[in-house]
Amino acid sequence: AHTQERRTRATAVAHPNIALIKYWGKRDENLVLPRVDSLSMTLDIFPTTTTVRLAPDTGHDIVTLNGRTAEGEPLRRIVAFLDLVRERAGSACPAVVDSENTVPTGAGLASSASGFAALAVAASAAYGLGLDATALSRLARRGSGSACRSLFGGFAVWHAGLDAATVAEADLASHAEPVLCGDLDPALVVAVVDAGPKTVSSRAAMRRTVDTSPLYEPWAVSSARDLTEMRAALLAGDIEAVGEIAERNALGMHATMLAARPAVRYLSPATLTVLDRVLRLRQDGIPAYATMDAGPNVKVLCRRPDADTVAEALRGAVADGSVVVAAPGPGARPVHE
C-alpha cells in the first residue's frame, strides 16, 4: 500500500525566472511555440510548491491555489494541462492539486512560470511518466511558455524551434536548456511598484502585439542578435554587457507593445522613476541594468556585492513599494516526502 501511495502522489518545487532576452509572441497558440528564442535567470526567491494526488473517486479535478478552490480560467488552464499528462500516461484518473505560490500573483513576476514548472514535475511523477529535464521543460511550456525555463537553475535559453520543418518537429525542438556561463556573481533586485493584477494578460497582449504592431518584426530580428551577443557576454562573465543587452531588449519589447493598436502599456510613472534611479546608479559607477515584464515592476541586474546599495537606492525611489534581492536559484525538482 505504501509504494502505491508513493506512486500516485508527488510534490515539486519551482522558482520563477526573469528573462534577459524576452519571450514575446507565439507562432502556435495551442502548442505554445514562440516566435523568438529567449534567455532567463531562475531566481532563488518566491518558490511555488505543488502537490498532485491521483483521486479516482472525485469524478473531476480539484485544484486549490493558496488555500482557495480554483475556478474559471486558472482552473481551465490547469485541467487542460493535466489532460495532456493524462493523455501521455493513458489515464483518465482525476487529480487533486494543491499549490502554494509565494509570488505576488499577477504582478508581472512570472507566477505562471514557477506554477507550471512545479505542476509539470509533480503531475508527471504522480501519473508515472518518467520524463527527463528536457521532456519536462517541453511539457511545462504547454502550460505557460516561460515555465519551460524554470526547469533549469541559473541561466537558461528557450529554443523557439524556428529551424524545424514541421510543427511536430518544432514541438520537439522547443524546450529550455542551461546556458554556459563564465565567472558571474549576479543579483537581481526586484522593485515591486504595484503588486495588483495586470490590466491585460500577457497572452492577450502578445497576440495583439504580433497582430498589429509595426515594430514587432524588427524587434524579433534584433532580439536574435541580442541573444547571440548575450551568450558571449555570459560566457565572458561581462556583467556590463549582459546588463546593457538585457535592458535594450526589454525596452525594445515594450516599444513593440506601445506601437500595438490599441497600445499595450504596462509601464507606469513609478516604473519610469525607478528607471531614472537606475540610470543615476550607473552615472555613479555602479553597473545596474533594468528589465520589465508584463507589468510595472522593475528588476535590476547588478553585481551581488552591489545588491544592497542598489536595493537601498530603489527603496528610496519606490516609497510605497517593496524591494527584494534575488540571486540565481535552482531548477524545478521533486520534493521527497
176 belongs to the binding site for ligand 2P0 (CB under 6 A): no
Where does residue 278 fall: left (phi above 0), alpha (psi -120 to 50 degrees), or beta otherwise?
alpha
Q: State which of positions 59-118 bind ligand 2P0 (CB under 6 A).
A: 110, 112
CB 283, CB 224: distance < 8 Å: no
Number of residues that bind ligand 2P0 (CB under 6 A): 15
Using CB under 6 A, which of the segments 144-152, 180-188, 230-238, 323-331 binds ligand 2P0? 144-152
23 contacts ligand 2P0 (rule: CB under 6 A): yes
What is the arrangement of strands in the sheet containing 176-178, beginning at the earlier edge strand? Answer: 17-21, 38-42, 155-158, 176-178
Among 27, 88, 198, 203, binds ligand 2P0 (CB under 6 A): 203
249 lies in the site for ligand 2P0, by CB under 6 A:
no
- Out of 8, 51, 99, 202, the residue judged to bind ligand 2P0 by CB under 6 A: 202
Q: In the complex with ligand 2P0, which residue's Cβ is closer, 11 or 202?
A: 202
Q: Which stretch binds ligand 2P0 (CB under 6 A): 143-151, 170-178, 189-197, 223-231?
A: 143-151
Q: By CB under 6 A, is residue 32 in contact with ligand 2P0?
A: yes
Instruction: Check binding of 38 to ligand 2P0 (CB under 6 A).
Output: yes
* Single residue of 19, 33, 192, 332 touching ligand 2P0 by CB under 6 A: 19
Q: Please choose, out of 20-28, 186-194, 223-231, 241-249, the segment that lies near ligand 2P0 by the rule CB under 6 A.
A: 20-28
d(CA 50, CA 141): 17
CA distance 238 to 227: 14
How does strand 33-34 pair with strand 26-28?
Answer: antiparallel
Report how many helices (DSSP H) and strands (DSSP E) the chain contains, helices first. Answer: 10, 16
Hey, what amino acid is at 309? T
DSSP string, 97-153: EEEEE-S-TTSSS-HHHHHHHHHHHHHHHHTT----HHHHHHHHHHH-GGGGGGGSS
Instruction: Tell me the residue type at 20.
Output: L
Site of interaction with ligand 2P0 (CB under 6 A): 19, 22-24, 32, 38, 110, 112, 144-146, 202-203, 293-294
